[in-house]
Amino acid sequence: MKRVAILVQYDGSHYSGWQRQKNATTVQGILERALFKITHHNVKTFAAGRTDAGVHASGQVVHFDIDCIIPGNSYSDILNSLLPPTIRILESVEVKDSWHACYSAIYRHYRYVINNSKFSNLFINNWSWHRYQTVLDEVLMLSASKRMEGEHDFFAFQKSGSNRTHSITTIKNIDIKRVENLILVDIKATGFLYGMVRLIVGQLVLVGEKKISPEIFTDRWLNKKKNDVKESAPAKGLCFVNAVYEENAFKKIIYNDLFPVFLIKGFS
């Protein structure tokens, strides 16, 4: 047996999330069916983070254990020949048996994209939330978000249905910037609660539209006022950018930021 790590991109608009489900099309389910075609055995995959229905990934990290003579660096080409065009394997490598896509990760990076233009854009509609009613104040949004950095209880930003025993996690960094008419919300954390980023963005947009103050935003999450957190951003604007490890297993890909930057260059 050997352990293989793969770097995966997928367009989440076609899938009911990452995790395998009965009677639903998921990224994990399709990937494991492709591995079955290669080995004729059931191969279980493990991901750095579970993405919900409609959420994308530009650099999802996955590993699996496999008893096969195929070299670890060949799985990317073989899997790509079996997968639909909405799922691509960027690179595959053999890793140590002790390495784990989820548990070895130091932190994960999610990005949320808001299209704050007055007009919709066909080329980014599936990758952004068109919030056009008001010109958002991204400086105010950033100011409101900064207190969340560090270890806190984010119970207010956890959707119902989570099986976690607690809602404490550490946000390493939050950055919010405007690139012409796109607002990029980048959150790096050791772990994410169920629905956490979309709930945070939903509240920050209210701050940016000056419907609630930064103080109200802080009061809601700091004092666990979950009932006041009603607005959740749609899934299509969210992307799992990557997971970061002490040592980068992947060598071919520039790994710092795998998000498709062509979407933001020259956009107006």
Start-to-end CA distance of the chain, whole Å, equals 51
Residue 52 catalytic? yes
Report the amino acid identity of residue 221. W
Say how far apart CA 117 and CA 41 lie, in whole Å: 49
Q: Is 31 exposed, middle or buried (0-12, 13-18, 19+ CB in 10 A)?
A: buried
Q: Which residues pair with 174 in a beta bridge?
A: 187
Number of neighbours of residue 211 by Cβ within 10 angstroms: 12
Say how far apart CA 259 and CA 239 lie, in whole Å: 8
With both helix axes pointing from N to C terminus, report the angle between 138-145 and 214-222 in degrees, rounded to the nearest 10: 30
Specify the residue for token string 């969340």.
148
Catalytic, out of 11, 52, 67, 175: 52
Number of neighbours of residue 253 by Cβ within 10 angstroms: 13
Enter the tokens of residue 80: 């790509």
Helices (H), the chain: 27-39, 75-80, 138-145, 196-208, 214-222
Instruction: Give, in order, the Cα–Cα distances in Å from 131 to each of 34, 83, 118, 208, 234.
Output: 38, 33, 8, 11, 11
Enter the tokens of residue 147: 């207190």
- What amino acid positions are annotated as catalytic residues? 52
